[in-house]
Structure 1
Amino acid sequence: MDPTLAIPLLGGLSPAAFMRRHWQKKPCLIRQAIPGVKPPLSRTELFALAERDDVETRLMLQRQGAWELRHGPFTRRQIPALNQPGWTLLIQGLDLQVPAAHALLQQFRFVPEARLDDLMISYASDGGGVGAHLDSYDVFLLQVSGRRRWRVGPVKDATLVPDMPVKLLANFEPTEEWVLEPGDMLYLPPRWGHDGVAEGPDCMTCSIGFRTPTPTEMAREVLQRMIDALEAPEKEPHYRDPAQTATATPGLIPEALQTFTQKAVIAALNDSRSLACALGETLTEPKAIVWFEGGEALAPGQGLRLDMRSKMMYDADHVFINGESFRAAGRDARLMRQLADQRALSAQECAGLSPGARELVEEWALSGWMHGV
């Protein structure tokens, strides 16, 4: 994708212009972002997906101002009748389960893959919604069936309604209001209040969300990876304290031992290669509900494509896939980066891989991480 070319998805803006004007700055309403859009799955398929225990599913019900949150899986009998107003079924990670949802997600790859969370779909009966709330992440709200009224605005008072199973804004004051038809899309930056309510039956909205991790979250995940990968040198010096004197306070931690430990930790954190590997492995780690079944070997003369559940990224020195890291250089690095960017390689491009790289992608194929085409 050329980020300087205007695209209908962004209302005639180029991705570069959209990111400059709107990303993490202000909302953007796009009429007919995808004309003639179709839901990525039918209502029947959606309800069948809600029955599976490897899919994250929630059900929101509203009755006379009271809210109830239930967690799936759900049998069809546990989902309210279609003509019952005020309920919403939410399914996370639809892009991991439905090829059409995964294909839809590819249109948003003008944002770095490292920021992508998932595509969630909500199915709502008339009047269904999840209440006025704010999110910590960027989101594109694409209407794919039915109609939904959105009220949005900056949040001046983040006070929440007490004793609720969900975080609802107590004093939300919207500044804009729109009704979205199929094909319309709304972008919202983090922490913009919004309240979407279905108008009529069969309301389906796809939410393309982009994670915004906190420093603590990233530090916790990356540091754990670095600790797990930490290896002692072959001849590592031990702590020595020949100047230690006899003490009358044996419970006091020696200052020299504190300094020794501080230097050891700083040295480990200053290992830029270890930090880069830990970050890439963290960002490509599949979600807990994702697992891969064994795949098939690549046939001679085949190209390949990544499985829709696979995460692949790279930095200047490494290639990362599904929580693992590999060194790459030269032509292999160029082809691996192309695979991460385009999620596929042609048969001709695969033929350009070195024997070592070819062996590696064969292993990935047998693990189900990619498939021959």
Structure 2
Amino acid sequence: MYQLNFDLNSFLSTHWHRKPTIIRNGFVEFDDPITPDELAGLAMEEEIDSRFVTNLDGNWQAQHGPFENFDDFPDTHSQLVIQAANHWHPGLRELAEPFRVLPNWLFDDVMICLSMPNGGVGPHIDQYDVFIIQGMGKRRWRVGDKGDYKDANHHTGLRQIEGFDPIIDEVLEPGDILYIPPGFPHEGNTIDVSMSYSIGYRSPKKLELLSGFADYVLTNELGDIHYYDPNLQTREEHGMIPTAEFDALNNMLMKLLNDPKAKSRWMGEQLSQSRHELDIMPAEPPWAADELFQFMEENLVLEKVSGLKALYHEDDLSVIFLNGESIELPEGCEAAARVLCDQEAFTGEDLGPIANNPALLALLLELCNQGYWYPQA
């Protein structure tokens, strides 16, 4: 079990969204949760987002997986990157566990980098809060201040910039953590064969929120009502939009935007969507109702599929949101919202008296058969 060597609340009050910092020995006795061979195996899978970046002689190239083998890849100036590794490997899921006290709706993924000497992805800027954990080996990290920087190497898709003056220039060793808020340029350069892990948190942009809500309104055919004015009168200035009519149209729009029921449902669905593929496997054979009932009776453990975002609103526990879907809980079973969303695993004992509720058991049966929860090994 991984354990942080610092207080997250103190960290949040001094650094979150404010300034980058290095936390030496951020983990107690850190061990890599995955081997290089296992990481390479993940990069061969079709469902997993992987890429191999090289910069021999300053020539930046990026290849996207899946990869059949790595025989022809250079053993210097190269880096293998796996996105959302926590969805596919239990060790990476465990690595993210100490950070679960941060909001799940902000959490994006755990990214792994296996880097050869002088490997990296070049100077770039991310719009994430990221904790970069150094595993085996050493990497030199340079971080600059916020500012305007010129883009570079557009053909690679690496979103690089031309360069920056560092405010941090340090070598990370196993167990060290580098925190970088959004908008700060940074670059890692590998000293010897290295593994590093990025715990990323991504907040939505205003544009994404507006676009997402507009899509929700269109999909659900909300506000399909025309402007209506039975008191319309003739006017000489027929090209003018009178203030009263502008206000009426604006009120129509704002009434739609400020519909609390629609916004609540949309927000839960939007924030619970994963940006990366999940390892969801429907139960085969499907659970039978009596099997799940017996499972609950014996207090055996059901575990949530890794990376699944399960959310609920503070003021309404009657609905939970799973991977972009709204799910109504049976009446009287609102307590299940906290168990299903706040815990990575649960038993019948965690649910208490509602564990025997037929309607809740029917819902759990459906969720287990869809592959959202499965018996803990």
Match of 1:220 in 2: 211
- The alignment status of 1:345 with 2:346, answered yes or no, reads yes
Per-residue CA shift, 1:181-231, capped at 9, x if unaligned? Answer: 111111111112211111112x11001111122100122123312332345
C-alpha contact (below 8 Å) 1:32/1:183 kept by paired residues: yes
Q: CA deviation at 1:50?
A: 0.9
Q: CA deviation at 1:371?
A: 1.7
**d(CA) in 2 for partners of 1:243, 1:186:** 64
**d(CA) in 1 for partners of 2:115, 2:270:** 34
Match of 1:369 in 2: 372
TM-score of the pair, normalised by structure 1: 0.85
Give the letter for the 1:186 counterpart. Answer: L
Q: Secondary structure in 2 aligned to 1:70? A: strand
Match of 1:151 in 2: 142
Which range moves more in the overlay, 38-47 or 206-215?
Answer: 38-47
Among candidates 40, 54, 60, match of residue 33 of structure 2 = 40
C-alpha contact (below 8 Å) 2:84/2:276 kept by paired residues: no
Match of 1:293 in 2: 281
Among candidates 292, 313, 323, match of residue 311 of structure 2 = 313
Q: Secondary structure in 1 aligned to 2:37? A: helix
Match of 2:163 in 1: 171
Q: CA deviation at 1:78?
A: 6.2
| Cα RMSD, aligned residues only | 3.0
Match of 1:30 in 2: 23
**d(CA) in 2 for partners of 1:362, 1:79:** 48
Q: 1:341 to 1:66 in 2, by over 3 A?
A: same
Q: Secondary structure in 2 aligned to 1:121? A: strand
Which range moves more in the overlay, 299-308 or 273-282?
Answer: 299-308
C-alpha contact (below 8 Å) 2:3/2:98 kept by paired residues: no
C-alpha contact (below 8 Å) 1:85/1:128 kept by paired residues: yes
C-alpha contact (below 8 Å) 1:282/1:323 kept by paired residues: yes
5+ residue gaps in structure 1? 1-6
Identical amino acids, percent of aligned pairs: 29
Match of 2:91 in 1: 100
Per-residue CA shift, 1:110-147, capped at 9, x if unaligned? Answer: 21111111000011111101112221111000012111
Which range moves more in the overlay, 89-98 or 27-36?
Answer: 27-36
Per-residue CA shift, 1:211-268, capped at 9, x if unaligned? Answer: 1221001221233123323457xxx987666667899xx9x99989988765544332
Q: 1:153 to 1:73 in 2, by over 3 A?
A: same
- The alignment status of 1:56 with 2:44, answered yes or no, reads no
C-alpha contact (below 8 Å) 2:130/2:179 kept by paired residues: yes
**d(CA) in 1 for partners of 2:191, 2:77:** 10
Q: Secondary structure in 2 aligned to 1:35? A: coil
**d(CA) in 2 for partners of 1:368, 1:113:** 20
**d(CA) in 2 for partners of 1:275, 1:237:** 18
Q: Secondary structure in 1 aligned to 2:152? A: coil
**d(CA) in 2 for partners of 1:41, 1:93:** 14
C-alpha contact (below 8 Å) 2:140/2:190 kept by paired residues: yes
TM-score of the pair, normalised by structure 2: 0.84
Q: Secondary structure in 2 aligned to 1:150? A: strand
- The alignment status of 1:194 with 2:186, answered yes or no, reads yes
Give the letter for the 2:341 counterpart. Answer: A
**d(CA) in 2 for partners of 1:21, 1:241:** 55
**d(CA) in 2 for partners of 1:52, 1:307:** 18
Q: Secondary structure in 2 aligned to 1:175? A: strand
Q: 1:356 to 1:246 in 2, by over 3 A?
A: same
Which range moves more in the overlay, 335-344 or 52-61?
Answer: 335-344
**d(CA) in 2 for partners of 1:355, 1:257:** 54
C-alpha contact (below 8 Å) 2:339/2:350 kept by paired residues: no
Which range moves more in the overlay, 331-340 or 105-114?
Answer: 331-340
